[in-house]
Amino acid sequence: MSDFETVAASENQAARRGPSGEPGIPGQVGTPQKPRSLAGDAWRDLRRNPIFWISLTLVVLVAAMAAFPELFASNDPRNCALSRQHAGPSGGAIFGYDFQGCDIYARSVYGARASLLVGLLSALLTGIIAVVVGMLAGYFGRWIDAVLSRVIDIVLGIPLLLAAIVLLKRVSTGGPNTRLAAVIVVLAILGWTTAARVVRSSVITAKEQDYVAAARMLGAGHSRIMWRHILPNSLAPAIVVLTIALGSFIAAEATLSFLGIGLKSPTISWGIDIDAGRVHMRESATPLVVPSAFLALTVLAFIMLGDAIRDAFDPKLR
């Protein structure tokens, strides 16, 4: 019996090896002339996406605010005077003053630092946990995978806010830096599971690739194969997940601070200011609206950025 596809397939391999192979890929309608790289395609898509540019601009702006707040706001956010309570705009205070008589705009600008710090470091820590767990589970498989996957299931089954409340309740003392570290660690401990799953599945895919088999045949050890060969190829999807996670971590930090169990004064955090503004909203809404806008735009920027990148890399559904 005969099978056209196998005939074509064996030919196909021969052509790929030979220098005079025909261009074009068999059996596929709509294949372009030259196979382009995935990253190249993704970049071409991204460049044409206005959402990508808007969110990127916002991210850069917030990052600049976090690094050099004094460039954006001339007033000292901690210079508060009750005599200015809910006073209108004056001088550098373009949005006026809050209940405590602090410059609303300056506080919102200075709030970017804590938010971004928590977001970035939590995402970094999350990434490290996710890569280690996902790599071990995906690479070694068997019982290691079974155990780690169950652990992921259990952690994923814990409601984030409730668990963060319980965990942070433990750290009731300590200075501002201790609290900052506590929030970061708690968010990372609870937030690594999605990224770990992504790493695990891409490691499993990468493990089956020819170049890994080749490296193994050349006598490369487990750790070399894992970190030098598999990791670089499994990182891209994890980074997309982490970009979106960064946005959620910033939102989570603000939420915890809002509840009074995250960051605490004197650290400046949008969550604290939103809570304070909420209490006095009937007298003046600006102290509520301004930090709310800062927080919402920042979180949105990261989530939209991650979303745009993911769409570009995974155009399956467009």
Partner 1 sequence: MTHSAVFPSPASATPEGGHLLDVRDLHVEFRTSEGVAKVINGVSYHLDPGETLAVLGESGSGKSVTAQAIMGILDTPPAVIRSGQILYQGRDLLTLSEEQRRQVRGKEIAMIFQDALSALNPTFPVGWQIGETLRQREGMSRGDARRRAIELMDLVKIPAAARRIGDYPHQFSGGMRQRVMIAMSLAMDPKVLIADEPTTALDVTVQAQIMDLLADLRRDLNMAMILITHDLGVVAGVADRIAVMYAGRIIEHADVRSLYKAPAHPYTKGLLESIPRMDVRGQELSTIKGLPPNLMRIPSGCPFHPRCPYVQQVCIDVVPHDLVLGDGRTSACHFAQEVRDDSSTR
Partner 2 sequence: MFRYILRRLLQMVLAFFGTTLIVYALMFAGQGDPIQALAGERPVTAAQRAYLTEKYHLDATGVGGFFYRYFDYVKNLVQGDLGESLTGRSIGQILQQAWPVTVKLALIALAVAILFGVTAGVIAGIRRASIFDNSTLLLTLLVLGIPTIVLAPLAQYFLGVKLQLFPPTAGSNPTFYALLLPGIVLGSLSLATALRLTRTSVAENLRADYVRTAKSKGLLRRRIISVHVLRNSLIPVITFLGVELGNLMSGAIITEGVFNIPGVGFNLFRAIKTEDGPLVVGIVSVLVVVYLVSNLVVDVLYAVLDPRIRYE
Per CB under 8 A, residues contacting partner 2 are 51, 153-154, 157-159, 161-163, 165-167, 169-170, 172, 247, 251, 254-255, 258-261, 271, 274-275, 277-278, 281-282, 285, 288-289, 292, 295-296, 299-300, 303-304, 307, 317-318
Residue 23 contacts partner 1 per CB under 8 A: yes
d(CA 125, CA 127): 5
97 φ, ψ (degrees, to nearest 5) = -125, 155
Q: Which does 70 bind (CB under 5 to 8 A by kind): partner 2, partner 1, none?
A: none
CA dihedral 242, 246, 252, 254 (to 10 degrees): 180
Question: Least Å distance between CB 166 and partner 2?
Answer: 5
CA dihedral 232, 63, 278, 186 (to 10 degrees): 30
Q: Which does 12 bind (CB under 5 to 8 A by kind): partner 2, partner 1, none?
A: partner 1
- DSSP state at residue 83: G
Residues contacting partner 1: total by CB under 8 A: 24
- Per the rule left: phi > 0, alpha: psi between -120 and 50, beta: everything else, 105 is alpha
- Please identify which residue in 17, 19, 31, 214 interacts with partner 1, judged by CB under 8 A: 31
C-alpha 69: how far from chain center: 23
Choice between 139 and 271, CB closer to partner 2: 271
Residue 2, SS3 per DSSP: coil
Residue 27 contacts partner 1 per CB under 8 A: yes
Tokens coding 54: 């808007």
Question: Least Å distance between CB 76 and partner 2?
Answer: 26
Residues of this chain that bind partner 1 (CB under 8 A):
1-5, 7-8, 10-12, 15, 21-33
